[in-house]
A = this chain, B = another copy of it.
């Protein structure tokens, strides 16, 4: 396997942390998003969507979309389970993972790509240029603040985001909250459950991946 990666790309980190939790050491090749290498002919031949990460399997098959890559790794390397141990637990962890994606990750991406000068005319990932919308940058920040409140409430009821075990939902929440530095978003002093949880998940060796 070979993982096309970019150190600062949060979706790529999602796969790196997931693989590290599985004890996998997947060879990686950096795609320099800082120089827009994801839109060069070499990389578009790998992933025509122009996005990282992409996982190339030994037979040459290319998988993209971080959530699909993680589910593939879960099936091929089932231990330790990170997506639930039975149908109901898998559904609940997937439900929370999706909530984190929709209400957290998407909000930060909205804020970052519409507010940072580097992304001028690049407000959406992929091969087509779209102008930034400053109002969307602001909306992203507000939505991320709401997401932190949702997480604070959830983590007051549950040890981890997806239930009573560490799961992919925690990984997605961790990379989302770290990604939020790009919009100056951070856990507040009034959010003790989030602080407790962040200390635990950020203290795992996989968080350095």
Chain A residues within 8 Å of B, Cβ to Cβ: 49, 57, 61, 63-65, 67-69, 71-72, 75-76, 87-88, 90-92, 94-95, 98-99, 102-103, 124, 126, 128, 130-131, 133, 135-136, 139, 142-143, 146
Residues of chain B lying within 8 A (CB to CB) of residue A99: 49, 65
Alpha-carbon distance between A130 and B133 when the two chains are bound, in angstroms? 15
Contacts A63-B92, A67-B94, A72-B90 given; 7 further ones with Cβ under 8 A? A64-B95, A71-B90, A71-B94, A76-B87, A130-B139, A130-B142, A135-B135
Residues of chain B lying within 8 A (CB to CB) of residue A102: 65
Residues of chain B lying within 8 A (CB to CB) of residue A128: 142-143, 146
Residues of chain B lying within 8 A (CB to CB) of residue A133: 133, 135-136, 139
Chain B nearest CB, measured from A34 CB (Å): 23
Q: Is the interface of A mostly helix, strand, loop or mixed?
A: helix
Residues of chain B lying within 8 A (CB to CB) of residue A95: 63-65, 68
| A88-B72, A133-B133 known; A67+B98 contact, CB < 8 A | yes
Alpha-carbon distance between A135 and B102 when the two chains are bound, in angstroms? 21
Alpha-carbon distance between A139 and B114 when the two chains are bound, in angstroms? 13
Residues of chain B lying within 8 A (CB to CB) of residue A76: 87
What 8 A-B pairs are tightest by C-beta distance, nearest first?
A72-B91, A75-B87, A68-B95, A68-B94, A65-B98, A65-B95, A68-B91, A63-B91
Q: Which of A63, A68, A143 has the most CB of B within 10 A?
A: A68
